[in-house]
Structures are given as structure tokens and as C-alpha cells.
Amino acid sequence: MTHKARVAEIAPDHYAISIHVPEFNLRFNHFLIKDDEPLLFHTGMKQMFPIVREAVARVIDPAMLRWISFSHFEADECGALNEWLALAPRAEPVCGLVGALVSVNDFAVRPARVLAHDEILKTGNYRLRFRQTPHVPHNWEAGLLFEEVTRTLLCSDLFSHGGDVEPVTESDLVDRAKCALIEGQKGPLANAYPYTSSTEAVLQGLADLQPKQLAIMHGSAFRGDAGSALRDLAATMREVLGPGMGSASP
Ligand SMILES: [Fe+2]
Ligand SMILES: [Fe+2]
């Protein structure tokens, strides 16, 4: 992989390290919070590690990373976790209890710091609230972090959209996300986003945090009324994936 990462500050001390993969026409974003105890959200895939490491080094010494977090156990979220743990001797994985018990504490070379629902992790100037969000965006162990000072929601695969897009947008992203959801249901990777009996409540709970930024893993970050965007996404997911709609044929 020869791609070079783009680094953009989407909020004070919050950097999006973004790699566009032409084969998928999709951006993979990794978020670095520069603080006394720097935190990386999404390690990236193992094969992206040298590229992400070089980009992190433009902002901080990568060996100083203290916390490594991610939403759920997939290669783009945490495939390079052990590479980061080897590079940064003080770094610890951060996730919820299910993630630690089911995957991370077996996979990782050091055990996870487990956060309870709504527990706060302080990194210095910034405060990250953990939300356990089962199956949102997907996987049993899914969780998200909300940085309270800048009101940035690290929202993983929610609002995913393709293209070699801009680092940050203030225009409505729900249309882009809706198109991607509809297209996704037609293709070989359909059913990526389960719609469960708790999906609506989880999204409403995230909207109630009143984020001002969405740090989106695939696509542009969003700046604006992110609470409204999350409520609109909930309605869109119900429409596209909800009861009677969500099962694409294998
Ligand atoms: Fe995912
Ligand atoms: Fe992803």
C-alpha cells in the first residue's frame, strides 16, 4: 500500500489522519487527540500501520501514545493494535467490557483498560465519555467515545460514505449516508448495519449528548448540529434497514 495520509485538524488538538483507498473509493480515518496522554481512535489495518504511524509522527512522537481505542473488533478499527502497543510502551487499549472479554484481552499483547457505560477517561485537557452501543454501528461489543470539551463524537462507521471527500463538511451528511446505506444493501457487503430493538434508543442517546463534530471513520467529518444529524440518521436507518426492510438476500 503506497498511499500517503492526509492530516487535518477537525477540532482543537483533534486530528483526522485520512487515507483514501482507490480500490474501494473509500476513506479510512484515524483520529488522534493530542494531549498529556495522547489517544488514537482506530489503529487502522495492519497493512496501513506504516502510513498511519508516519502521519501520527507529524503531530506527536508516536512512542508517547497513551491510549488506543476503537469501536469494535474489525481490522480497520484495531488490526494494528499490537503494532501500536509495541511502538508505544505506555499505551493501553481502551474498550468496553464485552470487547475486552470477547476479543481484546486475548488478541492484544497488553490487557485493555475497560470503561463502563458513561465512564469518563481524562487525557489532560480533554475528557472522553464512553458509550456502550451494542450493534451500533455493528458488532456486539461496539462502543463509542464522546470528547466533551470540543463536543466531538468519535462515531466509527456511522454516517459512512464513499469518495475522495473533503476533511470536514458543514453540509448535511445524512443524504450521503442514506445513499451509501441503500447502495450497500444491494451489494455483496449487504447487512453491514443490523437494525435491532435498541438501535433507535442508542442513536437518540448519542444525539442527546449534543455533539458539535462527528469524527466519521469513512468519509468527511461533520461540523454543525450533530444531534439533529443523529436523529435524522436514526430515521433514515429505520426507513432503509428497519423491520421488514433490513434483510438483503444472500
Ligand atoms: Fe466496522
Ligand atoms: Fe470502518
Average pLDDT, integer, range 206-212: 98
pLDDT of residue 221 exceeding 70, the answer is: yes
* 96 CA distance to ligand 1 middle (Å): 16
pLDDT of residue 245: 74
Edge to edge, the sheet with strand 39-41 lists 6-11, 14-21, 26-33, 39-41, 67-69, 92-95, 113-114
Determine the Cα–Cα distance for residues 129 and 118; give it in Å rounded to an integer: 6
* 143 CA distance to ligand 2 middle (Å): 13
Q: DSSP code of 62?
A: G
pLDDT of residue 244: 77
Ligand number nearest CA of 74 is: 1
- For 70-136, strand residue ranges (E) read 92-95, 113-114, 120-122, 127-132
* 160 CA distance to ligand 2 middle (Å): 8
Determine the Cα–Cα distance for residues 72 and 141; give it in Å rounded to an integer: 6
Q: What is the mean pLDDT of the chain?
A: 96
Residue-wise pLDDT tens digits, 35-82: 999 999 999 999 999 999 999 999 999 999 999 999 999 999 999 999
Determine the Cα–Cα distance for residues 43 and 41; give it in Å rounded to an integer: 6
pLDDT of residue 1: 53
Average pLDDT, integer, range 1-19: 91
* 138 CA distance to ligand 1 middle (Å): 6
What band does 86 get if pLDDT is binned at 50, 70 and 90? very high
* 73 CA distance to ligand 1 middle (Å): 8
Among 66-75, 183-192, 200-209, 218-227, where is mean pLDDT lowest? Answer: 183-192
pLDDT of residue 198: 97
What band does 108 get if pLDDT is binned at 50, 70 and 90? very high
pLDDT of residue 164: 96
Give the sign of the dihedral formed by CA 183, CA 189, CA 190, CA 192: negative
What is 138-173 written as a DSSP string? SSTT-EEEEETTTTEEEEETTT---SS--SEE-S--
Q: Closest by alpha carbon to 218, among 99, 76, 95?
A: 76
pLDDT of residue 2: 53
pLDDT > 90: what percent of the chain?
Answer: 94
pLDDT of residue 246 exceeding 70, the answer is: no
* 159 CA distance to ligand 1 middle (Å): 12
Residue-wise pLDDT tens digits, 152-171: 999 999 999 999 999 999 99
pLDDT of residue 3: 74
* 201 CA distance to ligand 1 middle (Å): 20
Burial of 107 by CB count in 10 Å (0-12 exposed, 13-18 middle, 19+ buried)?
A: middle
Cα–Cα distance list, 81 to 67, 194, 215, 239 (Å)? 11, 26, 20, 36
Determine the Cα–Cα distance for residues 159 and 74; give it in Å rounded to an integer: 17
Burial of 36 by CB count in 10 Å (0-12 exposed, 13-18 middle, 19+ buried)?
A: exposed
pLDDT of residue 250: 52
Cα–Cα distance list, 174 to 24, 158, 177, 239 (Å)? 20, 10, 5, 13
* 36 CA distance to ligand 1 middle (Å): 29
Query: Which residues have their alpha-adjacent CB atom under 5 A from ion ligand 2?
Result: 76, 157, 217
Assigned superfamily of 6-241? Ribonuclease Z/Hydroxyacylglutathione hydrolase-like (3.60.15.10)
